[in-house]
Amino acid sequence: MQTKVSEQLSELLQSKEPSDYVDVIVELHQTDEDEASGQGGAPLTRNERITQSKDRFDRRIVPLQETIRKIGGEITGQAWINETLRVRVPADKVKLLSDDDDVAKVDIPHPLTRDATAQSDVTTERDKTAHHNTTVQRD
């Protein structure tokens, strides 16, 4: 069975005292439980689907919130869109987070970076548009 604790987090934990607090990212297993329609069978609007996803995430994290509180930790952030929590817990309690069935992975926080490929695609499209706008033929 593959461990849910990332290699980077495992290395960090080895350098910590058991009572030291660490910041971790808890990734939940992704769910595909969106209902395509609301009451009466009408399709959900984008805002209704977003509200539904947020509400489902809030319900899913209730047991995990209790576990985090019991082990002396706290939730310092959450992102419903990718179903993650940022948590501060004692180093010796990280394993208890990974034991939760809803948890897919526990990792160290990583800074967000811009994808170089996506950036080059944007630049290419902008350059094409600029070139198109400057090459007007005269009759």
pLDDT tens column, 18-51: 999 999 999 999 876 655 555 566 788 999 999 9
How high is the pLDDT of residue 135? Answer: 43
List Cβ neighbours of 56 (8 Å cut-off, separation of 6 or more): 31, 33
Count other C-beta atoms under 10 Å from residue 94's C-beta: 24
The domain locations on the chain are: 7-111
The CATH number of domain 7-111, selected from 3.40.980.10, 3.90.550.10, 1.20.1540.10, 3.30.70.80: 3.30.70.80
Give the pTM. 0.74
Token representation of residue 108: 């160290």
Mean pLDDT of 132-136: 44
